[in-house]
Chain A
Amino acid sequence: MKISCEQAADICNRSQYNESKFWERIKLRLHLRLCKTCKNYSTKNAKLTSLCDKAGLCSLSKEDKENMKRNLGERL
């Protein structure tokens, strides 16, 4: 059941994108109880996720950017 801090960070990162498995999350929980550094990292990581959601950032699609580049390229 024991995992290293690197593994904990990896699971924590994937959890931010809902890509961790159930058992991994159990192991992570256990690790976080024992390791303050990882606990701290995990809290901040979750906060970063919520900040990114809150900011509601959007970005242009690849095609849009290609179009813009072409359009600018013709004028350069």
Chain B
Amino acid sequence: MAEHKLFPDQWVDRYADYLFNYAVVRVSDAELAKDLVQETFVAGLNSAKNFKGNASERTWLISILKRKVIDHYRRSNSKKGKAEVRMNYRSDSQAEGDWMEEQVADPFSRDGDNIMENEELGIAIQECLDKLPKKQAQVFKMKTIQGMDTEDICNELDINPSNLWVMIHRARTSLMGCLNENWF
């Protein structure tokens, strides 16, 4: 297996969005997720000498981020009153009936499955985007994920609209092929 190396100067461009998505799903707070990503990069830099090259750069960074997320929950748990369960009948509720039974999780809910599936999908898309030429991926992200106007993207990247649509076309075609096996 080829030895993996670290290129910290490219981390932000290559992995920031990927790590950010990973964190947002877990802490559901964009600001906090941003901080965790930043902390991950700093921690990565500090322990770069411990990197053995067994895993890819991205896998290694994700494993640091995982620790950061766990640490975050540890911290926030220790601030709370320990093992204290408070449950009130909702006094402000307008809904019919205030029974406790209505406040617990629905055992038949499949929301969890959906969240997991969407997360896997997100990772699959990110991985496919990584395989695209850099410029194509950039244009596709600006258009699809950030929802920017065609005109704004053209100004920022100094390209014309027909260039843009050609790149979008190529990106979309490659993504369809890449996601094809599992998601179509």
**Do A68 and B16 touch across chains, with their CB atoms under 8 A apart?**
yes
Report Cα–Cα, A54/B150, bound state, in Å: 22
**Do A68 and B41 touch across chains, with their CB atoms under 8 A apart?**
yes
Contact bitstring A39-74, B, C-beta under 8 A = 1, else 0: 000001101100110111111100011001101110
Q: A72-B11, A75-B42, A76-B45 are known contacts. Are A57 and B145 too (CB-CB below 8 A)?
A: yes
Report Cα–Cα, A56/B116, bound state, in Å: 12
Q: Does B168 contact A (CB under 8 A)?
A: yes
Report Cα–Cα, A14/B24, bound state, in Å: 29
Chain B residues in 8 Å Cβ range of A60: 16-17, 20, 34, 37
**Do A14 and B165 touch across chains, with their CB atoms under 8 A apart?**
yes
Known: A55-B125, A58-B21. 7 other contacts (CB 8 A): A19-B150, A47-B184, A55-B122, A68-B12, A68-B38, A72-B45, A75-B45
Residues of B at the A interface (CB closer than 8 Å) are 8-9, 11-13, 16-17, 20-21, 24, 30, 34, 37-38, 41-42, 45, 118, 121-122, 125-126, 141, 143-146, 150, 165, 168-169, 172, 175-176, 179, 183-184
